[in-house]
Amino acid sequence: MTAKSATRAPGAGTVRGARFGAQPSDLMDAINVSIDVDKRLHGEDIAASKAHCAMLVRQGIISEADGDAILGGLDTIAKEIAEGRFSFHRSLEDIHMNVESRLAELVGDAAGRLHTARSRNDQVATDLRLWLRQTLDDMDAALAGLQEVLIDKAEAHAGTVMPGFTHLQAAQPVTLGHHLLAYVEMFGRDRGRAADCRRRLNQCPLGAAALAGTSFPIDRRMTAEALGFDGPCANSLDAVSDRDFAMEFLGLAAVLAVHLSRLAEEIVLWCSDAFGFARLSDAFTTGSSIMPQKRNPDAAELVRAKTGRVIGALTTVLVAMKGLPLAYAKDMQEDKEPVFDAADTLALCIAVITGMVQDIAFATERMKAAAGEGYATATDLADWLVRVLAMPFREAHHVTGRLVRLAEQKGCGLEDLSLEEMGAVEAGITADVFDVLGVENSVKSRTSFGGTAPDTVRAAVAEARRRFVD
């Protein structure tokens, strides 16, 4: 079966040129056309075209009159797109040819001079870098906002006791403020990775042309400076074929998504009836179609699930790029959709997590009660034996284990054992041991740098504000 030729939009012949005598099939268009995805690069494409045009004029490559016409036409196109009056044609394949075709309608032959000394290869590499640069800036601002909300919550709960877990088993008491500050640190590292990525991608491919540079006397530093880049890419082959900046973005995006997912999972656990540590309002929960009593933390669950999309986006681009020789190959067209989807997904998830942290209310008494379950102060007892009785830690561990077993048999906490009962296990134990038993005494004793003691947490809150917010 022969596929029918697609209907072409005005000016479409400029995509294929005189080399081709027949139009492509509908199937070729279906797999080749990217305008449905890359039209969101319109702002970046127009900005790069304006910088390129200004450089061509200054270098005497095109006339000032043609340059003025091109710049005016590009401004008109930007306005048409902003007002929703621009018609995107799939037959023109991509954002670059859609803009160029409309520019020809507006300013005539002068439009054809804009493509001097450049290629769609260096155009798209430039546009995507510009887009990602702004995306990283927006992400950084959103993460700073999330950190500020977490810091505020941590300050409010610097002294709120909760169980700390390992293996999801009660381990040692911590403060809720300390727990929340752990995520502040994670998101701080995510911001650091984003800043590193931004710094490395901030080189301009424009002027590399198809792959080998150009014979025209262009000034690549001028266009790079006009677009806010640190400078031009040093190698024309690398400039058009490199997508490691996209892979790096997706890599840091995947790590960030995992951090968001871990916090979302904790919110799910905390809001469950089994934990009963927290409650989300109607703003971030849904009901059940059959069980009227349900309050489901669907927002948190969806953040947790959407992590898979971001990880999948990274895998998609890594696989697309892994076997490509230099320079450009059409495979690279598949980079934008996963990058856009990952960025959109992360922006939504950061906003949702920020809203949930603002919204969540904690059941502080329930958390404090749970902190004392599972003999969570056993390590405090072992540390006391080492510190006060100069007992080797392994021996202290053994003595404490015997005391835990005794408390289990009596059905009480360690702090509820009598001094006589403790003395029967270890004669050196004195009444001073009760100063470290109990969850509040436990957290107060953890005063080491980065520890969970309330005063230490308050100091950490102040430092976190200085590092991440102020």
Q: CA–CA separation, 378 vs 364, rounded Å? A: 22
Residues 6+ apart with CB under 8 A from 30: none
Whether 78 contacts 19, CB under 8 Å = no
Say whether 153 sits in a helix, a strand or coil: helix
Q: Give burial (CB, 10 Å; 0-12/13-18/19+) of 171.
A: middle
236 flagged as catalytic: no
Residues 6+ apart with CB under 8 A from 262: 183
Q: CA–CA separation, 425 vs 423, rounded Å? A: 5
Residues 6+ apart with CB under 8 A from 115: 100
Q: CA–CA separation, 307 vs 254, rounded Å? A: 7
Q: CA–CA separation, 71 vs 63, rounded Å? A: 12
Q: CA–CA separation, 255 vs 55, rounded Å? A: 40
Q: Which of 167, 215, 289, 448 is catalytic?
A: 167
Which amino acid is it at 118? R
Distance of CA 421 to the CA centre of its chain: 54
Residues 6+ apart with CB under 8 A from 423: 429
Say whether 170 sits in a helix, a strand or coil: strand
Say whether 169 sits in a helix, a strand or coil: strand
Q: CA–CA separation, 40 vs 90, rounded Å? A: 14
Q: Which of 63, 87, 281, 288 is catalytic?
A: 288
Please report which helix (H) or strand (E) contains residue 173, including its range.
strand 169-175
Q: CA–CA separation, 315 vs 308, rounded Å? A: 10
Q: CA–CA separation, 136 vs 125, rounded Å? A: 16
Please report which helix (H) or strand (E) contains residue 172, including its range.
strand 169-175
288 flagged as catalytic: yes
Whether 50 contacts 71, CB under 8 Å = yes
DSSP result, 278-290: EE--GGG-B--SS
Which amino acid is it at 312? G
Annotated catalytic residues are 167, 288
